[in-house]
Amino acid sequence: MNYDIIVVGGGHAGVEASLSAARMGHKTLLVSMLAENVGATSCNPAVGGLAKGHLVRELDALGGQMGLITDDAGIQFRILNITKGPAVRGTRAQIDMDKYRVLARNLVLNTPNLELIQEVVDSLILEDGAVVGVKTDLLNEYRAKKVILTTGTFLKGVVHIGEVKQKAGRFGEFSAEHLSASLIEAGLQVGRLKTGTCPRIDTSTIDFSVMEEQGGDVVPTPFSFRTNRVEFGKNKPQIPCYITYTNTLTHDIIEQNFYRAPLFTGQIEGVGPRYCPSIEDKINRFRDKDRHHLFIEPQTMDNTECYINGMSTSLPPEVQQEMIHSIKGMENAKIVRYGYAIEYDYVNPTELQHTLETKKVKNLYLAGQINGTTGYEEAAAQGLMAGINASLSLQGKEPFILRRDEAYIGVLIDDLVTKGTKEPYRMFTSRAEYRLLLREESADVRLTSYGHDFGLIDDETLRAMESKKAQIQEGHKRLIETTYTPNKEFIALLATIDEEKISDKVSAEQICARKSFTIEKLLKMMPEFKKYSQYILEEILVEAKYARYIEKQLVDIAKMKSQLHIKIPKDFDFAKVDGLSNEIVEKFQTFNPPTLHAATQIAGVTPAAIDILHIYIKIDKKNKKS
C-alpha cells in the first residue's frame, strides 16, 4: 500500500504520467475506475491535427508513448495544411480506437515499477499541508510521496441527453462524486466546465457514394521519431474518411428543438469549448450559414461504426435521429450510440506552479482536463510533464520547465498557470509566438536530449537525433558560406531552373529563401547536397527560408530569457509598489508570478507595470543586502 507516486485516472494524462514515473525508477500505482478502459479514446477516433500534432511530436521526443501507440493503431495518416508553411502544418491520424486502448492498457500492465488497480478514489489524505496518499471507495488507503490527479471528466460528471441527466464520468461509467470535496477542502478553486460528443452510426447504413471521399497521404508520415515507417498495402489499406454537410432542413429541425436543448434550457451550468461547439450552438451562433461540414470518421480498422465529427449534441434521442436522417447519405442511418454533453469539475490552473504541482498542497500534481484543457494531446503532454516533475522532485533534482520558445508544451503550461481558463483550453499554433522555431519536424532536435537525461529516451534515438541535427547545421552553414556573383554561367543556371537572375553578389541561403525555390532546384544549383536524405534537405531548405524571421524571434527570445533570470522574491509585497493600479496588484497577488517574465504573461499587465515592478525588485534586493 506504499508507493513513491500514485496516479489517479487512466486516461491519456494518466497513462503518460504513470509510465514516465515508473520508467524513471519510481514505484508507481495507477488507480483507474475501469481497468479495461485505461487509455480509452472516449471522443473522436483521431490523434493530432493542427497544433495538437506538435504536442504529440514533442511528447514523443521527450520519451512519451502517444506517438508510438498512434503509429501502431493508426488506420489513416494525413498532414494538414500541407500547402501552407511548415510552422503551421499538423500531422493527424485516424486510429483504431479499440486497438489503441488495448495497446495502452497492455503497456501499463507490462511496465516494471508500475501497478494498476481498479478502484475509485474518494479523497486525498492530507497531513501538514501536504498530500500523503488517497482513500478509495473500497476503504483502502494508499500512501505515496507524490500524488498526480488526472481525473478527466469524472469529477462529479453529469451526462446530458435531452431532458435526461445521469451521473457519469463517461456514458455508462461511474462519476467520482466525492473527490471534488477533498480538493475544495484543501483550498483549491474548483469550477465547472462542459464538453460533448456526437452520435455514432452503423457504417453499413451510410451511403458513402453521395459523399466526398477523403483518403490518407500516399506516403504516411509517422508520429514517432522512433518509428521508421507506417506500413499499409493491398492487404491493409488506409481507411478513408468522408465529408458531407448539414442543410437547411437539418438546421430547422435543430432550431425547432432549442427548447429541449440542455445547453439553452439552463440544465447545463458548465462553460463549453468555444472552438469546438455543439451543432445546436453552431446553428444558434451562425444563423447566416446554410450548411456546416460533417466529417464521417471510421472508429476501427473493421470500420463497423462511424463518428460524425462536427455534430456534437445533447439533444433528445428522437431529435438526434431526425437530424441525422436529414443529412445526405444518412437518410437510412442507424444510430448505435447517441451523442451527449458532459459537465464536470475542474481546478483553476492558476492554482498550479509551472511544474503542475499545486501551490497550496505540497506534493499534489494535476494534469489533463482537471486543469481546464480539452483534447487527448493536451492531456497527454501535461501527464508526461507531471510524471517527470514528480520524479525529479523525489530525486532531489531541479524541476523541468519548458520555456515558450522551446516547445508548444511550454506554451500550453505557461498559458494555463499564468492566465488560467474559464472555458476548455485548446492548443492552436496562433498561441505560440515563436512557432517558426517550434515546427513539428524539429521537435526531436529541441527536446530529445531532455528525454535522454531523464532515462526516457535510449542512446540509439539520441544518436539519430544528433546526426540529423549535425547534417542540418552543416548544410545550412554551407548555404550561408556559398556565394554567387551575377556572371553569365550562374545567370544561365538560374534560367534553367526557372529562377529570376541576380544583379548583386548573394549567398546560396538568400536564393533558397525565395518562395519559388524547391529541393529539386537546390540539387541542380548545388549537386553536392545529393548526399543528404530528402528529409534532411527539406529541413535545410526550411531553415534557409525562415532564416530572417527566426533571427528576429531569437532577439525576442534573448529579451525573454533576461526577464526569466529576474526572480520575484516569494515574500514580495506587490501592494507596496507605487504606480501599479489596484487591478494589476490584485492580479500579481492572485498569480504570484515567480519571475519577471511570468509577470509579463498575465493578461492585462502592461509593459509600464513591468518596468515599475522591475525597479521595485531591484530596490527590494538592495534593501535586503543592506
Domain identity same for 259 and 279: yes
Domain identity same for 30 and 134: yes
Domain identity same for 22 and 114: yes
**Domain end point (choices 406, 422, 453):** 453
Q: Which residues pair with 29 in a beta bridge?
A: 6, 115
For the chain, the average pLDDT equals 94
Please give the pLDDT value at position 626: 67
Domain identity same for 182 and 132: yes
33 belongs to a structural domain: yes
Q: What is the CATH number for 605?
A: 1.10.150.570
Render pLDDT for 284-311 as a digit per residue (tens, 0 to 9). 989 889 999 999 999 999 999 999 999 9
Cell numbers 490584485 correspond to what residue? 586
**Domain end point (choices 552, 584, 601):** 552
Render pLDDT for 323-369 as a digit per residue (tens, 0 to 9). 999 999 999 999 999 999 999 999 999 999 999 999 999 999 999 99
pLDDT at residue 29 is higher than 90: yes
Render pLDDT for 481-498 as a digit per residue (tens, 0 to 9). 999 999 999 999 999 999
Local confidence band at 83 (pLDDT 50, 70, 90 cut-offs): confident
Per-residue pLDDT, averaged over 451-477, amounts to 97
Local confidence band at 236 (pLDDT 50, 70, 90 cut-offs): confident
Confirm if 81 and 102 have CB atoms less than 8 A apart. no
Confirm if 190 and 345 have CB atoms less than 8 A apart. yes
Per-residue pLDDT, averaged over 213-229, amounts to 94
Please give the pLDDT value at position 276: 80
Render pLDDT for 237-253 as a digit per residue (tens, 0 to 9). 999 999 999 999 999 99
Cell of 456: 526516457
pLDDT at residue 262 is higher than 80: yes
514 belongs to a structural domain: yes
Q: What is the CATH number for 208?
A: 2.40.30.260
Render pLDDT for 108-127 as a digit per residue (tens, 0 to 9). 999 999 999 999 999 999 99
Domain identity same for 290 and 243: yes
Render pLDDT for 48-66 as a digit per residue (tens, 0 to 9). 999 999 999 999 999 999 9
Q: Which among 28, 34, 91, 107 has a CA at the least distance from the CA of 58?
A: 91
d(CA 532, CA 529): 6
Contacts of 418 (CB under 8 A, 6+ apart): 350, 591, 593, 598, 601, 602
What percentage of residues in the chain have a pLDDT greater than 70? 100
Domain identity same for 398 and 371: yes
395 belongs to a structural domain: yes
458 belongs to a structural domain: no
Cell of 391: 520524479
418 belongs to a structural domain: yes
Domain identity same for 295 and 395: no
Please give the pLDDT value at position 495: 95
Q: What is the CATH number for 511?
A: 1.10.10.1800
Domain that holds residue 616: 565-625
Q: Which among 433, 383, 386 has a CA at the least distance from the CA of 407?
A: 433
Domain identity same for 347 and 337: no
Per-residue pLDDT, averaged over 406-425, amounts to 93
Q: What is the CATH number for 157?
A: 3.50.50.60
Local confidence band at 542 (pLDDT 50, 70, 90 cut-offs): very high
Please give the pLDDT value at position 368: 97
Domain identity same for 46 and 156: yes
Domain identity same for 280 and 408: no
Q: How far is CA 206 from the centre of its chain?
A: 32
Cell numbers 435521429 correspond to what residue? 321
Per-residue pLDDT, averaged over 66-82, amounts to 96
Length of the chain: 626
Domain identity same for 91 and 220: no
Domain identity same for 283 and 207: yes
pLDDT at residue 501 is higher than 80: yes
**Domain end point (choices 501, 529, 552):** 552
Q: Which residues pair with 469 in a beta bridge?
A: none
